């Protein structure tokens, strides 16, 4: 790292306690200040490093704020068309079964235009990992209503708040997928304080482990913030997740292939 602060004369020796993961490039991420996309990227990179999968991983960047994910991960990458991440991942995984393939999709990408792709991938039990960032709006296109928008939440296309009679109710992706036999790991996590960040990291690790073990389809939903289009500060956004979003989207491990129920 180039620019570091150094306040005192160094003693004879230093040990790294925490370093930027090697699976992240040095490129500065283009996300808004306080957006938890960056936290999710960092956790994925940490897990790839820890499991020593970085060299054989293919990242699928999809459309949305995370469209530049291929610049941030130190892995091979493919940019898929809007919503088609799991379909592209299926092709890559089937043609090179030794690679570790993951898609990184937002809620507009996965829950709106790409809903059929993710459901069919789960139904086929494809050995891929899907990281699903749920921030309840279309962030890239200036905050329109997404399928995951909360009832009553104001967005640019629901200025009076989402009305369930007009626009329906929030889409619960994990609940939809939880009954499918091909799913090996399915969890909903968030990243609002150090504890939940650690929990999210554990779930991401298990999802990649499920793929490495060939157990089947794995998906981790990360309830994320969008400070820009929620019109809140980064910290207020985290509090809004805790107070509002987690009542709609409770944190839970839905399916764990290693757990015997």
Q: Which residues bind other proteins (CB under 8 A)?
A: 1-8, 10-21, 24, 28-29, 31-39, 41-42, 45, 193-194, 197-198, 227, 233-235, 238
DSSP class per residue in 150-210: PTT---SS-TT---HHHH-----HHHHHTT-TTEEEEEEEE-SSHHHHHHHHHHHHHHHHH
Cα 140 from Cα 242, distance rounded (Å): 23
Q: How far is the CB of 126 from other proteins (least distance, A)?
A: 30
Tell me which residue of 55, 58, 76, 223 sits closest to 137, measured CA to CA.
223
Q: How far is the CB of 183 from other proteins (least distance, A)?
A: 28
CA 208, 219, 83 angle in degrees (round to 5)? Answer: 115
**Given the structure tokens 């129920």, which residue do they identify?**
261
Cα 131 from Cα 34, distance rounded (Å): 19
Q: How far is the CB of 65 from other proteins (least distance, A)?
A: 12
Q: How far is the CB of 62 from other proteins (least distance, A)?
A: 19
Q: Which is nearer to other proteins, 180 or 251 (CB)?
A: 251
Q: Which is nearer to other proteins, 45 or 172 (CB)?
A: 45
Q: Which is nearer to other proteins, 133 or 174 (CB)?
A: 133
Cα 20 from Cα 13, distance rounded (Å): 20
Q: Per the structure block, which two tokens stand in for 92?
A: 């890559």
Q: Which is nearer to other proteins, 217 or 229 (CB)?
A: 229
Q: Which is nearer to other proteins, 7 or 247 (CB)?
A: 7
Name 220's bridge partners: 131, 187
Q: How far is the CB of 46 from other proteins (least distance, A)?
A: 9
CB-side exposure of 64: number of CA atoms within 13 Å? 34
Q: Per the structure block, which two tokens stand in for 197?
A: 């960040």
Q: How far is the CB of 201 from other proteins (least distance, A)?
A: 9
H or E, element range at 133: strand 129-134
Q: How far is the CB of 112 from other proteins (least distance, A)?
A: 24
Q: Which is nearer to other proteins, 28 or 260 (CB)?
A: 28
Q: Which is nearer to other proteins, 5 or 260 (CB)?
A: 5
């Amino acid at each position: 790292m180039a620019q570091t602060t150094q306040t005192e004369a160094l003693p004879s020796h230093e040990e790294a306690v925490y370093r930027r993961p090697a699976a992240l490039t040095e490129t500065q991420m283009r996300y808004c200040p306080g957006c938890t996309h960056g936290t999710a990227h960092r956790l994925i990179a940490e897990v790839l490093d820890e499991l020593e999968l970085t060299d054989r991983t293919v990242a699928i960047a999809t459309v949305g704020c995370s469209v530049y994910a291929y610049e941030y991960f130190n892995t091979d990458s493919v940019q898929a068309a809007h919503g088609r991440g799991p379909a592209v991942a299926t092709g890559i995984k089937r043609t090179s079964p030794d690679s570790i393939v993951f898609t990184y999709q937002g809620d507009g990408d996965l829950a709106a235009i790409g809903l059929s792709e993710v459901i069919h991938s789960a139904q086929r039990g494809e050995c891929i990992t899907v990281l699903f960032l749920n921030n309840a709006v279309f962030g890239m296109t200036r905050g329109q209503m997404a399928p995951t928008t909360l009832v009553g939440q104001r967005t640019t296309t629901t200025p009076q708040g989402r009305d369930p009679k007009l626009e329906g109710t929030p889409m619960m992706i994990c609940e939809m997928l939880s009954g499918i036999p091909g799913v090996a790991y399915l969890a909903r996590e968030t990243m609002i304080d150090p504890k939940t960040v650690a929990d999210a990291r554990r779930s991401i690790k298990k999802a990649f482990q499920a793929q490495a073990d060939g157990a089947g389809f794995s998906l981790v939903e990360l309830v994320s913030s969008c400070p820009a289009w929620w019109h809140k500060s980064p910290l207020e956004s985290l509090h809004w997740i805790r107070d509002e979003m987690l009542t709609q989207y409770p944190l839970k491990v839905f399916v764990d292939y290693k757990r015997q129920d």
